[in-house]
A and B are shown apart, each in its own frame.
Chain A
Amino acid sequence: MDVALSYAAWLSQQTTDNSTLQATFNDASSVLFSTFDHETHLSGAEAEITEPDVD
């Protein structure tokens, strides 16, 4: 995340940017990562890894 990105700018990015990264592997299985809530999912499954606490 860009250190110079303000909260207001981040909020407005949320409404415009594509927020999901996908990795598809050789065996055709794949995982998704949301840059907005930082959660990782198996493709087509419920969230399995949740955000840790704000320290």
Chain B
Amino acid sequence: MLSSQLLAFFASPAEFIQRATPQQWTLFLQQARQQGLTARFYYVLQTKQLLDQVPQQVKLHGESGARYAQKQQHSLYSELQQLEPLFAGAGYPCLLLKGAAYRAQALAVSFGRLFSDIDILVPANQLRHVRDRLFFYGFREAEMTDYDRDYYLNWSHQNPPLQHYQRGTVIDLHHHIYPTASARSIDITPLFSHAVSIPGSAFKVPATAHLFIHAAVHLFYQEETHKLTKDVIDLNDLLLEVQHQQQLDFMLEQAALMSVQSAVSNACRVLSTLFANGAAQVALQSPALPRPQPLVCNLLLTMLQGSVASAWFARQLWFVRGHSLKMRWQVLVYHSLAKPANSLQRWFRRLLPGHKS
């Protein structure tokens, strides 16, 4: 509902620009800015040769966004180049994930797509080694409590974000694409074994099929919803890319192997409904894929298309669902108790005589 103009545009740009009223364009520009999709809509129009058919004002805002995205593209390449020597000698695979992986290969999904950090995946047993080397290269972790640090390392799938002291670049170093605390154990060895090399670079990228699977897992197994519109638009482009690279069958096979079929099936249902995505419709016909879960799909669609009230309600349910999926109940209970206990402890410690700060 809140991003309805965006969804309508990305579902069918040519149709949208034919019938959009000035009032809708005003909303559209506003929503695009909020979701960081200004440069993205510009490149869609450019690719489809529709730029001359939109109002000049819309085009100018698009151009402005595109200039910012181009700068990000350069910043990313420049940063990766600085990191090359660090990863060059590594005897294990280092994979770029998400935005960095799309951008490095110049996939259509990356045209004008903004990102805030660089996601890198390394084998779990190398995480500390890589992190220590990044320290040596000027990256550091933000100040955090012992509890939060523990949470990141032991229960989440990544090291706490690492930021370069001078350049400000943030690296999210992952050892898994899904929290290890989860009861669902997703086997990610195929990500490494099918990874594609980047000529001239020490980095690799996952196969496009895996990039889609990762994005689908991220969307359906997490509780975050603030960039939902952007996430489904990404997913739509990624699935079309999978089809374009003739990896649709491979993707379905991998989804089964990694036991993430329900996420993939649900994603296909949502993409088919929102964008009439052809690849999603093909995938849904496949006997290899279980039927989508109606409740989950409807919850997601309600958050995107429902009225203000129903979208709000759906978000609350989604949040609870995301958390319970992420952690086994024992873990959830442990954290629900440990977190308050931990802050209480710190509070008491501050009251003790002789304590500084």
Contacts and interface: CB of A to CB of B under 8 A. Distances in A.
Interface of A: 1, 3-12, 14, 36-38, 51-55
B355 interface: no
A31 B215 CA distance: 45
A7 B77 contact: yes
A3 B73 contact: yes
29 contacts: A1-B73, A1-B74, A3-B43, A3-B106, A4-B106, A5-B73, A5-B106, A6-B104, A7-B77, A7-B103, A7-B104, A8-B104, A8-B198, A8-B201, A9-B106, A11-B81, A11-B199, A12-B199, A37-B78, A38-B74, A51-B78, A51-B167, A53-B167, A53-B169, A54-B72, A54-B75, A54-B79, A55-B72, A55-B114
Contacts of A54: 72, 75-76, 79, 167-170
A51 to B, nearest CB: 7
Contacts of A37: 78
**Chain B interface size range:** 20 to 34
A10 B79 CA distance: 13
A55 B116 contact: yes
Contacts of A52: 168
B28 interface: no
B80 interface: yes
A11 B114 CA distance: 21
Contacts, number: 65
B41 interface: no
B89 interface: no
Interface of B: 43, 66, 69-70, 72-81, 103-106, 111-112, 114, 116, 167-170, 198-201
A11 B75 contact: no
Contacts of A51: 75, 78, 167
B70 A3 contact: yes
A6 B104 CA distance: 5
A12 B199 CA distance: 9
B168 A53 contact: yes
B118 to A, nearest CB: 8
For the complex of A and B, 7 pairs with smallest distance between CB atoms: A53-B168, A7-B104, A6-B106, A54-B75, A11-B200, A8-B199, A54-B169
A12 to B, nearest CB: 6
A51 B201 CA distance: 23
A38 B78 contact: yes
Which of A14, A37, A55 has the most chain B CB within a 10 Å cutoff?
A: A55
B201 A7 contact: yes
A33 to B, nearest CB: 13
Given A3-B111, A7-B105, A54-B75, 10 more contacts: A3-B73, A6-B105, A6-B106, A7-B201, A8-B199, A9-B106, A38-B78, A51-B75, A53-B167, A54-B72
B45 to A, nearest CB: 13
B199 to A, nearest CB: 4
A7 B169 contact: no
Nearest to A1: B70
Contacts of B168: 52-54
B177 to A, nearest CB: 21
A5 B76 CA distance: 12
